[in-house]
Amino acid sequence: MAEDIQEEVRKVAEKIPGCRFVSLVGYDGITVVQHSVDANFDINQYDAELSSIMLSSKEVRNSLSLGNEKELIWLTENAFFSIHPVGEDYFIYCCLKPVGSNPGVARIELNKAKKTIHKIIYPE
């Protein structure tokens, strides 16, 4: 099971132009798996901090009755993040370079991967 998830994360990271890394994280901030393509920093720190953003987002959408979250996009000067919930316990996201990356491909590939990973984590 863990190997299947690791392979899925690796495939996604390597398909996205300009990808620094892809990570599957629990809402508790603990990394499940990650694959680095071009990251020269502590990815675990990013995972922990982004879990705080996702928890805040979950609170806001619940208090405003906005329904299920599909994707959160966050663009900064130095990075582009596409974050996708995987069930109620996890999220998968990628960190892209701000220049020379392809956010459209990232969104498509993460959408596909989250469905596959959901089936592995939450078998019916």
- Determine the length of the chain: 124
Please give the Cα distance from 8 to 62 (Å, whole number).
30
CA-to-CA distance for 28 and 54, rounded, in angstroms? Answer: 10
Q: How far apart are CA 51 and CA 73, in angstroms?
A: 14
Tens-place pLDDT, residues 7-32: 999 999 999 999 999 999 999 999 99
For residue 113, what are the domain limits? 2-121
Alpha-carbon dihedral sign for residues 59, 60, 63, 66 = negative
User: Crossing angle of helices 2-15/103-121, nearest 10°?
Assistant: 170
* pTM, to two decimals: 0.93
Q: Which of 19, 16, 93 is nearest to 54 (CA)?
A: 93
Q: Give me the chain's average pLDDT, please.
A: 94
At residue 1 the predicted structure's pLDDT band, cuts being 50, 70 and 90, is low
Number of domains in the chain: 1
Q: What is the CATH number of the domain that holds 114?
A: 3.30.450.30
Angstrom CA distances, 36 to 31, 41, 58, 110, stand at 13, 10, 27, 15
Instruction: Write out pLDDT tens, residues 109-121.
Output: 999 999 999 999 9
